[in-house]
Amino acid sequence: MKKANWIFTLLLLSSLISGFSNPLTKAGKPVRNVILMIGDGMGTSEIYAGLTLNHGHLNLERMKNIGFSKTHSTSYVTDSGAGGTALATGHKTYNGAIGVDAAGNPVKTILEWAEEKGRATGLVVTCAVTHATPATFISHQASRNDYEIIAADFLKTDIDVFIGGGLNHFQKRKDGVDLTTKLRDKGYAIAHNLDEIKALKHGPVAGLLDTLHEPRWLDGRGDRLTESVHEAIRLLSMDKDGFFLMVEGSQIDWGGHANDINYIATEMVDFDKAIGEVLDFAEKNGETLVIVTADHETGGLSLNGGNLETGEIQAGFTLKDHTGVMVPVFSFGPYSEKFTGIQENTAIFYKMLDAFGFNTKK
């Protein structure tokens, strides 16, 4: 056998062996579902703050494939508009951008790709559904501040499930238009609380649970995020073609801006509960890729002391804004090994497309 043939045979063998060694990954077979979970402002310190409050453990520890993401936008320190756009579209852009590249051109999002390829799609957040992170998946606007314009963009998609706050941006608008009527005309159920969502036999549903943002966990939000995720998965998994779902722990970031360690740690534990819900589904399902990452870190949080028994944390902060540090990328299920190592935030988009088996050439 010629040397070139030998190398080819070895490559073929090693790819077969690596394919067989992981029972979840049948080499080259696209995944059915992708669930992307974004902890806004969630660096390693925020994670460890949650772990401390939770007495030494988090569901995140169930995710064995771990990497890092370089979060910079066209600036060294990103905001959630550019950070979300990088994850949603694979483009580095300017801070404040929503689903547009650095030149302001609209760029197709992973949610739009999934929709075009016949997958069901969903967003579940604890802020307004029109806020920067969720907006980057369904909207293309020059500025994250145009909430009412972003709300109208939901009507341009066929998103199956969206749950969060933001009712005012749909109903109490400067132009006087009631977008919930338009959504109803398009076939959406409009739900104002979780019980209304639980009663639904199928989607599509606009779950607009609050006028603006959802309350803080500290102010009695309870298990709403985890329950919303449970309902979203129930409705989306009725589609035999699979689904894409983005879940955001939106307010870890707001605790960081407030330099409030109690706010950060409680939001982190709440987000982790939703991660547990998703992992339970993915474990049983076997065809679901789960990615948990952040858009950036917020607050320059350091943990100067603490107690894993009492959950006490002594926190230090360097600023009331975002920082430029790398953030972790946790992944689980088929294709999850592709998300290890140090990568650009934009690479996460392309790896999700690959996992779905979508052809980016057209």
**Active site amino acids:** 80
Under rule CB under 5 A, which residues in 244-283 are in contact with Zn ion? Answer: 253
Q: Which residue is nearest to Zn ion (CB)?
A: 253
Query: If contact means CB under 5 to 8 A according to the sort of partner, which of Mg ion, Zn ion, none does residue 52 touch?
Result: none
CA distance 299 to 40: 12
Judged by beta carbon, residue 25 or residue 71, the one nearer Zn ion is 71
How many of the chain's residues bind Zn ion (CB under 5 A)?
1
Alpha-carbon gap, residue 261 to 296, rounded angstroms: 17
Q: What does 270 bind: Zn ion, Mg ion, none (CB cut-off 5 to 8 Å by kind)?
A: none
Per CB under 5 A, the list member of 69, 89, 130, 250 interacting with Mg ion is: 250
Quickly count: other Cβ atoms within 10 Å of residue 122's Cβ.
Answer: 29
CA–CA separation, 140 vs 106, rounded Å?
Answer: 5
Measured from the CB atom, the residue of 253 and 270 that comes closer to Zn ion is 253
Min dist CB 87 to Mg ion, Å, is 11
Question: How far apart are CB 41 and Zn ion at their closest, in Å?
Answer: 6
**Minimum distance, C-beta of residue 78 to Mg ion, in the bound complex (Å):** 12
Give the shortest CB-231-to-Mg ion separation in angstroms. 21
Q: Is the peptide bond before 204 cis (omega within 30 degrees of 0)?
A: yes
Phi, psi of 248 (to 5 degrees): -120, 130
Q: Kindly tell me which residue out of 133, 139, 298, 331 binds Mg ion, with binding defined by CB under 5 A.
A: 133
What is the footprint of Mg ion within residues 27-46 (CB under 5 A)?
40
CA 9 to chain centroid, in Å, comes to 40
Q: CB of residue 134 vs Mg ion: minimum separation in angstroms?
A: 7
- How far apart, in Å, are the Cα atoms of 351 and each of 134, 144, 201? 19, 26, 33
Q: 46 touches which of Mg ion, Zn ion, none (CB within 5 to 8 A by kind)? A: none
Q: Which does 250 bind (CB under 5 to 8 A by kind): Mg ion, Zn ion, none?
A: Mg ion
The residue nearest Mg ion at its CB is 133
* Smallest distance from Mg ion to CB 249, Å: 9
Residue 266 binding target from Mg ion, Zn ion, none, CB below 5 to 8 Å by type:
none
Contacts of 238-241 with C-beta under 8 Å, sequence gap 24+, read 238/120, 238/202, 238/203, 239/119, 239/120, 239/160, 241/32, 241/117, 241/118, 241/119, 241/120
Task: Decide: is 345 part of the binding site for Mg ion (CB under 5 A).
Answer: no
Interacting partner of 297 out of Mg ion, Zn ion, none (Cβ under 5 to 8 A depending on kind):
none
Vertex 153 angle, CA 152 and 157, to 5°: 125
Using CB under 5 A, which of the segments 103-111, 129-137, 274-282, 299-307 binds Mg ion? Answer: 129-137
Q: Distance between CA 166 and CA 147 in Å, rounded?
A: 9
Instruction: Candidates 80, 126, 141, 298: give the one binding Mg ion (CB under 5 A).
Output: 80
The piece of 47-55, 79-87, 196-204, 216-224 that touches Mg ion (CB under 5 A) is 79-87
Applying CB under 5 A, the residues found at the interface with Zn ion are 253
Applying CB under 5 A, the residues found at the interface with Mg ion are 40, 80, 133, 250
